[in-house]
Structure 1
Amino acid sequence: MSALPLAFGAPLLTADIRTVPEDFQVDELPAFEPTGEGEHLLLEIRKRGANTVAVAKRLAQWAGVPEMGVSYAGQKDRHAVTTQRFSVHLPKRVSPDVAMLESDEIHVLSATWHNRKLQRGALAGNRFKLVLREVRGDVAAIDARLQMIAERGLPNWFGEQRFGRDGGNVPAALAMFGGRRVRQDQRSMLLSAARSALFNRVLAARVEQDSWDRPLDGEVWMLDGSRSVFGPEPMSEVLAERLARFDIHPSGPLWGLGELRSTGQALALESAALADEQAVALRAGLEAAGLKQERRPLRLRPALLQHQWLQDGVLEMSFALPPGCYATAVLHELGAVNDASQAYSDS
């Protein structure tokens, strides 16, 4: 993230995050209510210092089912306290004792029957509470930057989690496109990383010209909270009003087969941002994999953004983000935030 441009000027702070897992709290916002019937046990679990995949494996062992019988809407950070849903397929509707799951890492908040398997992405968003420690910077300037983010939004970057340790997923994707064989789960991860890298390139070009939240000629629009797109069409007072109230957003490409939908200035910028040798190789690999052209909003507005200084040098922030958006994008606009968990995860 440190290599990406900033939308609001120079960085304002240095700080640490994840000094303890409680400094990074994430709660899934559910997209539906359980039906109370069916053969899928829907578990709401609070985990601390645990990987989502590891918890899913633990659930499979507990239930005596294959790992493919356990699903979740999205992966959550390990070095954090997070709440998320899992579903376990139990065709005989006999649930083992949930108390057997309790540990320092796992606490079951609820267990309810549901009639469908939990699908990836089946959440309304995520609510975050973050605590930054050892904050160094001008308090008034930091307060003003957060207020600006609340009012204007910020660039909708794909976060560093998408790119793996030391950004290694993009080189691995290039190697896969060059013929290296990988497991199916790795393939999906690497395709996502390649797409995300190309999107961030386009967004970086828009940030550098301060057009990430305003239209270019030939803009393709996305409806807020939806994958629906429309345009290009000439700018109008109606579009300007919808843009101002965050009903629509400018968009950038998620690469795949097909022609870019943008035209004019927007098309020229996207083409130029994706013209170097590495970008061309990533584009070709994604097309060969059969992915189709899609779009993603360039702009993100955190909902209910609030902050308070718990004491000198300790800043608490809370906000909610739509699915697929990253809290690290918010932190990026403030300055250099060091992930303190790396010190003990590497040891």
Structure 2
Amino acid sequence: MRKLFHLTHSPIACYFRPSVRDFVVREIPLYEPSGAGEHLIVLVRKKELSTFEMVEILSNTLGLKSAQIGYAGLKDKHATTYQYLSIPRSFESKLSACSASLNERGIKVLEHRAHTNKLRVGHLRGNSFFMRLKKLTPLEAQKAINALEVLKDSGFANYFGDQRFGRDGQNYQEGEKILENLRITRDKKIARFLLSAYQSHLFNLWLLERMRLSAMIETCSPRELARNARGYGVPDCVLCDEGVLCALKEQEQFFKLLRGDVAVHYPYGRAFVIDDVGIESARFSKRQIAPSGALCGKKLISAQGVALEIERAFVDTRLREVGSRRYAWVWAQDVAYTYKPEVAQMELTFSLPKGSYATIFLETLLNRSLSQS
């Protein structure tokens, strides 16, 4: 899927390929281990392994079921990643005895402490990242620096990254086949993963539609939009009178809020339906709230009104997974960079909320897909 970004500079030319040297990910834990309890929180460093591959190695090496191993998030394979996992505390001595063997297979145990509960997906505050960009000329580096300064304040569209959809990008299609009974998957974990990829695909399509609408409102005058609404692709559900479009255009942020959107307090908090767009737009600009898109499923908090007319095209009611809302817009924190002209490289560090992709931040910065590297 081609993504639409909000920055207007020409694409930045450089080279980035995820590797253990040029891409480092560190989990930011939600809490510190208590020091007591039946579980063990383990910090590991892994290289060239997916989280699923790491869990399988630990399961086989320690002699415990993979279901007994908890983790807070899925981490990139082609990277050096520091992440937390949990195992029953009864395996503590075996973990110590097998540390050398694990290290040989790309898993280094760095520390471990007792805790009262097993780690669950989502039990993290966010992730910090290091990326090394190569073949970056001084001219392109200055463009990147200028864009970074804008991104610090503006935030960016929170697409799911391409890696969410598998090596060939088709995981979401396999998830849809499960819904259509065209694929039978006995492994419940794999089935949930593929269905989740399908949820993610629908979210990305919705976000792309809203980015297109926002771009039209941003670049066209209200009179042009009102006169040629269908020609510009403005959905019929957006009332195309000049007054309504003027109000949309007055919103400071690129992503335009609609009445009936579901917003969420940022960086975490409760969801609510937007009624007064003017008030919530001001809070959005101050990073107090952010709009959200649907990860469709049961118990989903749905948008209303105009926002629902757009959202319902990207909701599959056959999904019986638990639905949720995902931030459509997020902000990077702790952004820092060093440019080394003698080797034409930039070292970039930043942190993101959980569930957000460093590759999407980078694509927004470069204003192009990483597949064009």
Match of 1:285 in 2: 318
- Alpha carbons 2:136, 2:344 under 8 Å: kept: yes
- Alpha carbons 2:158, 2:360 under 8 Å: kept: yes
- Alpha carbons 2:263, 2:273 under 8 Å: kept: yes
- Aligned-pair distance for 1:17? 2.1
**AA of the residue aligned to 1:302:** A
1:193 to 174, 197, 201: 197
Match of 1:153 in 2: 155
Deviations 1:296-322 (CA, angstroms, capped at 9, x unpaired): 221110111122212353122111111
2:348 to 313, 317, 324: 317
- Aligned-pair distance for 1:185? 1.5
Match runs of 1:298-337 below 5 Å: 298-311=328-341, 312-333=343-364, 334=366, 335-337=368-370
**AA of the residue aligned to 1:232:** I
Moved more, 319-328 or 309-318: 309-318
Which structure would you say has the larger RCO, counting Cα contacts within 8 Å and 6 or more residues apart? 1
Is 1:130 matched up with 2:128?
no
Match of 1:181 in 2: 184
- Aligned-pair distance for 1:188? 0.7
| Separation in 1, partners of 2:66, 2:263 | 40
- Select the structure that is richer in strand: 1
Match of 2:79 in 1: 80
What percentage of aligned pairs have identical amino acids?
29
- Aligned-pair distance for 1:246? 0.5
- Aligned-pair distance for 1:262? 2.2
Match of 1:294 in 2: 324
**AA of the residue aligned to 2:106:** E
- Alpha carbons 1:127, 1:321 under 8 Å: kept: yes
| Separation in 2, partners of 1:244, 1:8 | 16
1:233 to 254, 272, 275: 275
Match of 1:207 in 2: 211
| Separation in 1, partners of 2:92, 2:47 | 28
**AA of the residue aligned to 2:321:** L
Instruction: Give the count of matched residue pairs.
Output: 327
**AA of the residue aligned to 2:174:** A
Alignment CA distance shift 1:240-1:51 (3 Å): closer
Match of 2:233 in 1: none
- Alpha carbons 2:55, 2:66 under 8 Å: kept: yes
Match runs of 1:1-347 below 5 Å: 3-9=2-8, 11-18=10-17, 20-91=19-90, 94-98=93-97, 99-100=99-100, 101-103=102-104, 105-135=106-136, 138-179=140-181, 180-182=183-185, 183-210=187-214, 213-226=255-268, 228-237=270-279, 239-257=280-298, 261-271=302-312, 274=313, 283-286=316-319, 290-311=320-341, 312-333=343-364, 334=366, 335-338=368-371
Helix, strand or coil at the partner of 1:141: helix
Normalised by the length of structure 1, the TM-score is 0.86
Match of 1:345 in 2: none
Alignment CA distance shift 1:93-1:115 (3 Å): farther
- Aligned-pair distance for 1:159? 0.9
Long gaps (5+) in structure 2: 216-253
**AA of the residue aligned to 2:199:** R
Helix, strand or coil at the partner of 1:199: helix
| Separation in 2, partners of 1:284, 1:151 | 37
| Separation in 1, partners of 2:372, 2:62 | 35
- Alpha carbons 2:273, 2:304 under 8 Å: kept: no
- Aligned-pair distance for 1:10? 5.2
- Alpha carbons 1:213, 1:249 under 8 Å: kept: no
Helix, strand or coil at the partner of 2:135: strand
Moved more, 291-300 or 77-86: 291-300
Long gaps (5+) in structure 1: 341-347
| Separation in 2, partners of 1:92, 1:163 | 34
Deviations 1:26-56 (CA, angstroms, capped at 9, x unpaired): 0000111112122222211111222222222
| Separation in 2, partners of 1:339, 1:61 | 39
| Separation in 1, partners of 2:348, 2:372 | 16
Alignment CA distance shift 1:177-1:96 (3 Å): closer
